Homo-oligomer: A and B are copies of this chain.
Amino acid sequence: MIPQLINREKIYIENIGQYEGKEVKIHGWLYNARHSGKLSFLLLRDGTGVIQCVISLKDVGEEIFARAGQLTQESSFVATGTVRADKRAPGGYELLVKNIEIVHIAKEYPITPKEHGETFLMDHRHLWLRSSRQHAILRVRHAIIKSIRDFFDSRGFTLIDAPVFTPAACEGTSTLFETDYFGEKAYLTQSGQLYMEPAALAFGKVYCFGPTFRAEKSKTRRHLTEFWMVEPEVAYMDLEGDMQLAEEFIEFIVQNVLATRREELQILERDVSKLESVTRPFPRLSYDEAAAMLTTPEAIAFAQEKEAPAFVPGNDLGGADETYITQKFDKPVLVHRYPSAVKAFYMKNDPQQPDRVLCVDVLAPEGYGEIVGGGQREDDLETLEAKINTHQLPMQAFRWYLDVRRYGSVPHAGFGLGVERTVAWICGLHHVRETIPFARLMHRLYP
**What is A's interface to B at a CB cutoff of 8 Å?**
1-2, 4-8, 12, 14-15, 27-30, 46-48, 74-76, 103-104, 106-107, 109, 124, 126-127, 129-130, 134-135, 138-139, 141-142, 145-146, 149, 153, 156, 158-167, 177-182, 184, 186, 188, 195, 198-205, 210-211, 213, 215, 217, 225-226, 228, 235-238, 240-241, 244, 379-380, 400-401, 403-404, 406-411, 436-438, 440, 442-443, 445-447
Q: Is the CB–CB distance between B438 and A236 below 8 Å?
A: no
Number of copies: 2
Q: Which listed residue, B15, B129, B145, B210, touches A159 by the CB 8 Å rule?
A: B145
- Taking a contact as CB atoms closer than 8 A, the residue among B76, B141, B186, B404 that contacts A409 in the complex is B76
* CB neighbours of A179 from chain B (8 A): 177-179, 188
Q: Given the complex of chains A and B, what is the CA–CA distance between A106 and B406 in angstroms?
A: 6
State whether A410 touches B198 (Cβ < 8 A): no
- CB proximity of A228 to chain B, nearest CB, Å: 7
Chain B minimum-CB-distance residue to A383: B1
> 9 smallest A-B Cβ distances: which pairs?
A47-B204, A126-B198, A7-B236, A400-B447, A76-B408, A129-B202, A27-B236, A47-B203, A106-B407
Complex contact A106–B408 (CB within 8 A): yes
Q: Contacts A146-B153, A198-B127: A165 and B445 contacting too (C-beta < 8 A)?
A: yes
Q: Which of B14, B126, B238 contacts A6 (CB 8 A)?
A: B238
| Closest Cβ neighbor of A446 among chain B residues | B167
Instruction: Judge whether A180 and B181 touch: CB under 8 Å.
Output: no
- Closest chain B CB from A313 CB (angstroms): 29
Q: Which of A1, A2, A48, A228 has the most CB of B within 10 A?
A: A2
Once the chains are docked, how many angstroms separate the CA of A254 from the CA of B68?
46
